Structure 1
Amino acid sequence: MTTSYEVAVRAEATLGEGPTWDPATGRLLWIDILGSRLHTYDPATGARTVRATHQHVGAAKPRAGGGLVLNLRDGVGLLDPDGGFRWLRHEPVPGRRANDAAVAPDGSLWAGTMRYDEAPGGGTLSRLAGDGSAELVLDDVAVSNGTGWSPDGTLMYYIDSPTRRIDIFDCSADGRVSGRRPFVSVEDGAGFPDGLTVDADGCVWVALWDGGAVRRYTPDGELDRVITLPTPRVTACAFGGAGLSDLYVTTARVGLTAPHPVAGSLLVVPNAGKGLPQPAFTG
């Protein structure tokens, strides 16, 4: 187990986000939200691709039948294996864009939104089924961010960044959530919680925007590890690689007057822990 980072992909992403391991292709997916770019990285070969999306993109996740589901500014779209695009749910709202998203154990997509001005209550969290039907879960969010589930699927973790909290919900057998309560609060001066991932031990890893670090909290909410990084705007983290032991971390350059050379790059902490296999979207 190590806590030192390496640069997996040197880049200058404006707002790097959403690292996701795709086991079907053996590639790490990540996006540049404001750059409208979808990146892939194959750690076995070093091969990279970059594809433009036609608008700001908050997340890209694998689909069960191949291709990707994209959380986009104006709704949720499907990228087919042949490269074709179609909307699954198109619902543009002026001044609002997509942000982070995650796939639940049942294969549904939990898609977050936020206003560009980050106004309180301007964002949402919705649960989308494979047929595009949607259930509004939260309608009073400021910056909808990290979402993840415990190894047994009975708990869901969620971040609305300005609250400085990771919240926890009970998750029922039909995938619905209830009983929202604080799990961890990030102290003033340590940054804002952004993206998260849950490991095989049920520990929650969270990236700290303006905190220059990734933290791991035990299932009891105790801080037990901190990985310090040289650039302040750390956005999200996910386990990847053949054994799901490497922690990939995205970073951003937006708003920095003198960015560190790795700001906007995809970083990796080798042998950081043990991740959980992530389900694919059913759509």
Structure 2
Amino acid sequence: MTAVEVAVREHAELGEGPTWDPAARRLLWVDILGSRVHTYDPASGRRTVMATEQHVGAAKPRTGGGLVVNLRDGVGLYDEGGAFRWLVHDPVPGRRGNDAAVAPDGSLWAGTMRYDEAAGGGSLTRFAPDGSATPVIPGVAVSNGTGWSPDGTHLYYIDSPTRRVDVCRLSEDGRRVEERRPLAAVEPGAGFPDGLTVDGDGCVWVALWDGAAIRRYTPDGTLDRTVELPVRRPTACAFGGPGLRDLYITTARTGPDRPHPLSGSLLVLPDAGQGAAAVPFEG
């Protein structure tokens, strides 16, 4: 692997949720507190920025174009022309959407959290394309990284204050968690696990908030790689670019009194490994 590079120099307050959009051949990512959805085309360098009316925890591509977004007050849809409508409008005072991911069946699994990060104030919910919502993991604090094993039988999941990466055995139809257990624990002083992605080998890459690093865990929970970063608060990672071999890393400026000059930028680790193709939301 080569050294980490700067893909997009930015001052995002809370950059999050990198996702490769294979149809558009671009990377999507959000600034949660800045209420912005960013795109980046690594081939041309072209960028776009779209403002949202609320804090936006995640943005994912939709089948046929447009975006599904996990907002403060629920899950919404943008069409290709930028027109917006709610899929599910469910405002709860003091709560917002956070990280989200699209399952192999095209449903959106969207997390929530309270702004004060109170225990039990968040959840992970499955949203079908028709908008029907099914709680998957209730009673968490900060619902964060979410991803699936290559065969779709297991879910990897992070509730950040637990300092754990959990692995969940799913029901046969993939819609429910039948068993949840710790896969790996992040030791005190090494930061908090935040966003994650699963590579083509089934290994789990985890961003360490306040840990200035990305870690890769094998499917049995063994730590086999650590990538040190210049910024203190990486938030999430995803594979993208030609062949899905470059690891893109979002970062945050919020918190430290004197953040690193690259905090809030989109970083990239070229040729980090083999990623897995993202599935668009079917709604």
Q: Match for residue 199 of structure 2?
A: 199
Q: CA deviation at 1:65?
A: 2.0
Q: In structure 1, what is the Cα distance between the partners aligned to 2:172 and 2:126? A: 15
Number of the residue aligned with 2:64: 65
1:18-49 CA distance string (max 9 Å, x none)? 00000010000000000000000000000001
Judged with a 3 Å threshold, the aligned counterparts in structure 2 of structure 1 residues 121 and 282 are, in CA distance, closer, same or farther, namely same
Query: Aligned-residue CA RMSD in angstroms?
Result: 0.7
Alpha carbons 1:37, 1:52 under 8 Å: kept: yes
Q: Which residue of 1 aligns with 2:232?
A: 232
| Runs of 4+ with deviation above 3 angstroms | none
What per-residue deviation string (whole Å, max 9, x for no partner) do you get for residues 233-252 of structure 1? 11000000020000000000
Q: 1:102, 1:111 within 8 Å by CA — same for their partners in 2?
A: yes
Aligned counterparts of 2:104 and 2:217: Cα–Cα separation in 1:
21
Q: Distance in 2 between matches of 1:261 and 1:242?
A: 28
> Residue type of the partner of 1:80?
D
* Residue 81 in structure 1 maps to residue 71 in structure 2: no
Aligned to 1:12: 11
**Match of residue 118 from structure 2:** 119
Rounded to whole Å, the distance in 1 between the matches of 2:260 and 2:172 is 45
Counterpart of 1:162 in 2: which secondary structure?
helix
Q: In 2, distance between residues paired with 1:97 and 1:155?
A: 26
After superposition, residues 69-148 of structure 1 pair within 5 angstroms as 69-148=68-147
Query: Do the aligned partners of 1:3 and 1:227 also contact (CA within 8 Å) in 2?
Result: no
What stretches of structure 1 of length at least 5 have no aligned partner?
none
- Of all paired residues, the percent bearing the same amino acid is 73
Residues 147 and 158, structure 1, Cα contact 8 Å, conserved in 2: yes
1:172 & 1:124 partners in 2: Cα distance?
A: 19
1:173 Cα deviation after fit:
2.9
Which residue number corresponds to residue 35 of structure 2? 36
CA contact (8 A) 1:4 1:227 kept: no
Q: Aligned residue pairs: how many?
A: 282
Residue of structure 2 in register with 1:248 after alignment: 248
In structure 2, the residue matched to 1:184 is: 184
- Alpha-carbon distance, 1:3 to partner: 4.6
Distance in 2 of aligned mates of 1:40 and 1:173:
35
* Residue 230 of structure 1: how far off its partner (Å): 0.8
CA distance in 2, matches of 1:44, 1:13: 22
The answer to whether the 8 Å contact 1:145/1:195 transfers is: yes
Amino acid at match of 2:199: D
Q: Partner of 1:100: helix, strand, or coil?
A: strand
1:269 corresponds to which letter in structure 2? L
Provide the rounded CA distance (Å) in 2 between the counterparts of 1:23 and 1:142: 32
> C-alpha separation between the residues in 2 aligned to 1:219 and 1:138?
21
Gapped regions of structure 2 (runs ≥ 5): none
The one-character-per-residue Cα deviations of 1:237-272 (angstroms, maximum 9, x if unpaired) are 000002000000000000111111100000000000
Give the TM-score of the pair, scaled to structure 1.
0.99
Match of 1:279 in 2: 279
Q: Which deviations, in whole Å up to 9, do the C-alpha atoms of 1:37-88 show, x marking residues without a partner?
A: 0000000000001110110000000111211100000000001011100000
* Alpha-carbon separation, structure 1, partners of 2:51 and 2:172: 38
